[in-house]
Chains A and B, each alone.
Chain A
Amino acid sequence: MIDLTIDGRDISVPEGTTVLDAARLLNLDIPTLCHDPRLKPYGGCRLCIVELEGVPRPVTACTTPVAGGMVVTTESEQLYRLRRTVIEFLLSDHPNDCMVCQRAGDCTLQELAYFYGLRDNRFWGERRRYDKEDANPFIKREMEKCILCAKCVRVCGEVQAVGAIDLAYRGFNAKVCPPYEKDLDCEFCGQCVAVCPTGALTGKVWEAQGRQKDVKYTETVCPYCGCGCNITLHSVRNRVIRVSSRENTLNEGWLCSKGRFGFEFINKPDRLRTPLIRRRKDGPLEPASWDEALGLISSRFEGIKKEHGPDALGGLSSARCTNEENYAFQKFFRTVIGTNNIDHCARY
C-alpha cells in the first residue's frame, strides 16, 4: 500500500493506483473529459491536472501513478484558471448549439461550461466545419462537436476489438473517422455512443424524441439473449426512446447492437400483444386470451400424443429465453410429453 496526501487528507491505496482514482476514493471531484475507468488512461483533455509538491508543472491525475509521500493538491486558483482555459479552448471550437443538441442536459462539456461560468470566450476563432452526414443506419456523427477525447476510438479498439475508427489528420484538423472518411460500416455496437461525453455521437433512433428532463428511467434486463445484460430504458410519455446501460452493472455498461438499438419493436403497432388462434381452416388469425390459447395447446398436445405417440411432438426453443426457461422447456418435453425431440437455435 502507498501512503499519500491529497488536499490535506491522508489516504492509503494499492500500488499502481492513479492519483485520479485515489482522489475519487476521497470523493474529490476532479473534472475529466477523456477519462473512463474501463479504458486505458489517455491524458488528452488535460482537465484533470493537479499539483504535486516539488513538481514545477501540473500533472494529469489520470495518468500519474501514486507514489509514497506524494502531496497532491486538486484545487487551487492556478488549477482553476488552467482548467477554465482548457474548457474555453474547447468551446472556442464548438458549435455551441446546446438549444438544439440531443445531449443538452446530459453533456459533460455543457456541464463544465456551466460550472466554470463560460458564457463569453476570449479565444473565438476559426471553427472546424464538417457537414458530412454519415449514412449509416444507427449512429449520428456530428464531428464538429467532437472534442477529440478519443474515448470512442479506444472503446472500439480496447473493448470491442473492432477498430472501425481512428484519429486522422494533425493538429487543429485532427478528427475521428472511419478509414478514408467513408461512412461508418461496423458492427454498430454503439459503445462509442455510450462513452461520448458530448453530442458528437448519438443514436439516430432517439434523435429529437425527447428532452433529458422528460426522460423516465426504468432499470430492466435485456430480453435479447440469456446473457442478461442490465439495461436502462429511457421513456418519454410512455414510449421507449432509447436504451442505455450503467457502468456499475454486471455488463459494465457495454451492450451489443441489438440491445442498444433494437428496441423499436416495443412501440410498433403491428407488434403481437395477445395470442392469436386460427379458429377455422383458411380463416384469419384472431386474438384470443392466454387461457384460451394455452387450453387449446394442451388439448391438442394430449390428442396428438394419444393418437400418434409422444415422438410425434417436438420442441424448439429460443436463445432469447434464459437458461432457466430453456431448462424448464426441455424438462417439460422429456417428462410431461415424453420425447427427446427437443432442440434450440444454439443447441441444447
Chain B
Amino acid sequence: MSNNIKINVCMGTGGIAAGGDEVMAAFDLELRKAGLEADVEKHCAVHRVGCRGFCARDVLVDVSVDDVRTTYQYIKADMVPRLVEEHIIGGVPVEDWVVGQDYHDFHDRQEKVVLADCGQIDPEDIQAYLDVDGYKGIVKALSEMSPAEVIECVKASGLKGRGGAGFPTGMKWQFCAANKSDRKYVICNADEGDPGAFMDRSVIEGNPHAVIEGMSIAAYAIGAAEGYVYIRAEYPLAVERLHKALSQARAHGFLGKAIHGTSFDFDIKVKLGAGAFVCGEETALIASIEGQRGMPRAKPPFPAAKGLWGKPTVINNVETLANLPFILRKGAEWFASLGSETSKGTKVFALTGKICNTGLIEVPMGIPLKEIIYDIGGGIEGDRLFKAVQTGGPSGGCIPVEHIDLPVDYENLLKVGSMMGSGGMVVLDENDCMVNISKFFLEFTQSESCGKCTPCRIGTKRLLEVLTRITEGKGKKTDIDLLLDMANDIKDTSLCGLGMSAPNPVLSTIKYFRHEYEAHINDKRCPAAVCRSLLTFTVIENLCKGCGMCLRACPAGAITGEKKKPHYIDTSLCVKCGACFDVCKFKSVIKE
C-alpha cells in the first residue's frame, strides 16, 4: 500500500450540485475506517455542472497514488467504498468508472492559461495558490518594475479586454495612469450576465487569488489604492470564496498597507450586483456602486478619466485580470506568442447548446470554429446537422455552417456579424428555428434594457413584437424589411452597448437564414418544426397501433379513434400543444 495518496473531489457549484459534498464526506469516512492517512482535499470545480470544464461528468474525482493520477467520472457517495477498497487499498484502479478517451480529447486540445490552475488547486487555501507561483507576478512588479514598465509589459503582451468589446488593456491603463488625481480605483467586473455564460464565475470559484493578484497589478500600474469587485449576488459560492481569499491575502500581506515592504497600499471591497444585466456595462456598474440606479451614461468622459466617484477608474473583466499574473510572471513575449496575429492569448468559452461535450473550455485565439465544435465539443448531439453557432451572448450573432472554418478571434467574429462578447457559444442544430432563436435573445435584451434611451426601450420591444408575430404565422410580407430598418436604426441611435448590439441576433439570422423568415411569413411554415402555431400534427395511419395514448393526452379532445385502429387528429380542434407527439411511442404522430 502506498503512503502517498491524494484525492481531489470536484467541489464547484456543479460538483456540489452533483453530490460533491457527500462524496467528500464518504471519502473521509471510508479512509478513517480503513485507517489511512490521506489528504482529502477540496478540488476547485470550474462550473455548475462539473469541474475542469467537463461539467456533465460530475462528480469527477482524481485519485493520485505516487503521482500516478486516475480520474473517475460520475462518482456518487455510494461508489466510494469500492474506490477505497480496490484502488487505494488494493492498488488497482476501478476501470469501470475511469474516464474515457473523450474526456482526454476534450482537455488535450485546449490550451489553458486562466483555467490552468482551476480544478487543480484548492481555491480556499492561499498556500495552494502560492505553491503554483501565485503572487509572484505582483511581487515581481513591485520589486523589479515601475508602474510604467508594467503598463508597457501589458501593452506588449497584446492582451485585450475579455469582457466583450476587446479594448487593449494596456492602453486603457495608460489613459488612466496619465490622469492626475488624489484617488483612483480598480474595478473587477464580475457581473457576468449573459445567459449560459459562466466563465467568470468559474474563475473566481476555482482560482480567486489570480483575480486578486490581477487587480493588484492593475492598481500598481495606474496608482490606485482601492479596488472593488462588482459580482452578481447570484454567485454565492464565488462570493464566499472571494471573501475567504481576500482575508487570506490580507493576512499574508498581499493586500493592505505597504505591500511587500514597498509604499504600495491596496485593498479590495466586494459589491454585490442586484441582478441587472445592464450593470455589466461599465458606466452603469459605476452608478450601481455609487448607490444610483444602474443606468449607463454617455461616454466621453470615459471611466479612465471620470469613473467611480468621479475619479479615474480602470474596469477590467475577471478573465482579463486573471491573465495578468501569468503575463507578469512569464513575460509579454510568451503571451504574445499565443493566439492569432491580431488577438493574443487564449479565450475561455462556455460551450453549450446541441453539443456533445457541454462545458467550459479555453482555447488559443484564432482556433478554427470547427475544431472547437468537433474536436473539443465532440460534435453535435445525436449526429444531427450543425446549423449555426451563436457567439457573444444575447448581443452576439449567429455564425452559419459556411463559416465553420473561421479562425475565432475578435476581428473575424465581427467580420461575420457576430462578436466575441464574454465568451458564450451556443451550438444550434437542424432542429433549431432561427427566427425563434432570434426571438429568444430579443426577449432577454428587451427585458434587460434599463429604459433610459428611446431606441433600446421601445425599439427592442417592437423588434420582439414583429418576431413574435412571424413565429405565430401572422407575419406580413414587409416584416423582414421592417425588422432590418428597425434593427439598423436601433444600432445607430442607442446609448450603450446593450442597445447597440441587441439587434445583432436579428440582423445575423436574417443575413444567413433569410429563407427561414420567408418560410414563416410566406408559406406559414416553420422549417425546423419549432414554432407551434405553424405546425400541423397528423397521424400516419400505417404506423399507428391505436394504443390510445395520444387520445388520452390530448387536452382539446381533438383526437378520435377506436382501440387498435388508426387515430385521427382534427386540426380544427388541435391547439398544437404537442402532447400527442410527445407521448406516441411508435413515432406515428408527425409535426410539420
- Report Cα–Cα, A82/B486, bound state, in Å: 10
Q: How many residues of B contact A (CB 8 A)?
A: 34
| Complex interface residues of chain B between 330 and 372 (CB less than 8 A to chain A) | none
User: How many positions in chain A have a CB within 8 Å of any CB in the partner chain?
Assistant: 36
Q: Which of A84-99 contact B (CB under 8 A)?
A: 85-86, 89-90, 92-93
B454 shortest CB reach to chain A, Å: 5
**Closest-CB distance, A123 to chain B (whole angstroms):** 5
Determine the distance from Cα of A174 to Cα of B449 in the docked complex, in whole angstroms: 9
On whether the beta carbons of B460 and A171 are closer than 8 Å, the reply is: yes
The reply to whether B448 and A171 contact each other, CB–CB distance below 8 Å, is yes
A192 at the interface (CB under 8 A from B): no
Q: A60-B298, A92-B458, A123-B486 are in contact. Are A174 and B451 (CB under 8 A)?
A: yes
Contacting pair A82 B492 (CB below 8 A) = yes
Measured CB to CB, the closest approach of chain A to B420, in angstroms, equals 19
- State whether A82 and B293 are in contact (beta carbons under 8 Å apart), knowing that A89-B459, A170-B449 are contacts in the complex: no
The answer to whether B461 and A125 touch across the interface, beta carbons within 8 angstroms, is: yes
Whether A173 is near chain B, meaning CB under 8 Å from some CB there, is: yes
Q: 1/0 per position for B451-485, CB-CB distance to A under 8 A?
A: 11111111111100100000000000000001001
**A43 x B465 contact (CB < 8 A):** no
Please tell me if A132 contacts chain B, counting CB pairs below 8 Å.
no
How far is it, in angstroms, between the C-alpha of A46 and the C-alpha of B493 when the chains are bound?
Answer: 6
| Dominant secondary structure of chain B at its interface with chain A | helix
> Smallest CB-CB separation from A169: which chain B residue?
B451
Residue B545 is within 8 A (CB to CB) of chain A in the complex:
no
Whether A166 and B457, one on each chain, are in contact in the complex, defined by CB atoms closer than 8 angstroms, is: no
CA distance A63 to B301 in the complex (A): 9
Complex contact A57–B492 (CB within 8 A)? yes
Q: Chain A residues near B583 (CB, 8 Å)?
A: none
A235 within 8 A of B: no
Give the residues from 25 to 48 in chain A that come closer than 8 angstroms, CB to CB, to chain B.
41, 43-46
Chain A residues with CB below 8 A from B453, complex form: 43-46
Q: CB-CB contacts of A54-70 with B at 8 A, as 1s and 0s? A: 00011110011100000
Residue pair B495, A43 in contact (C-beta under 8 Å) = yes
Contacts A60-B298, A63-B298: A172 and B458 contacting too (C-beta < 8 A)? yes
Q: Does chain B have a CB within 8 A of A147? A: yes
Asked if A170 contacts B462 (CB within 8 A), the reply is: no
Say whether A152 faces chain B, with CB atoms less than 8 Å apart: no
User: A169-208: contact bitstring with B at CB < 8 Å (1 yes, 0 no)?
Assistant: 1111110000000000000000000000000000000000
A306 interface residue per 8 A CB criterion: no
Complex contacts, B492 vs chain A, CB 8 Å: 49, 57-58, 82
* Contact in complex: B447, A170 (CB < 8 Å): yes
Name the B residues within 8 Å of A85 (CB-CB): 455, 459, 485-486, 489, 493
Contact with A89, one of B276, B454, B465 (Cβ below 8 angstroms): B454
- Check B446 for interface membership: any CB of A closer than 8 A: yes
Partner of B454, one of A44, A81, A122, A173: A44
Contact of B293 among A44, A122, A167 (CB under 8 A): A167
Q: Are A82 and B450 in contact (CB under 8 A)?
A: no
Neighbouring A residues of B494 by C-beta, 8 Å: 46
Residue on B nearest A43 in the bound complex, by CB:
B298
6 pairs of A and B residues whose beta carbons are closest in the complex: A174-B451, A63-B298, A171-B449, A43-B298, A89-B458, A85-B489
Chain A residues with CB under 8 Å of chain B are 41, 43-46, 49, 57-60, 63-65, 81-82, 85-86, 89-90, 92-93, 122-123, 125-126, 147-148, 150, 166-167, 169-174
Can you list 14 pairs linking A and B with CB atoms under 8 Å apart? A49-B493, A57-B492, A58-B492, A64-B298, A89-B454, A90-B458, A92-B462, A125-B461, A125-B462, A126-B461, A170-B276, A171-B446, A172-B461, A174-B451
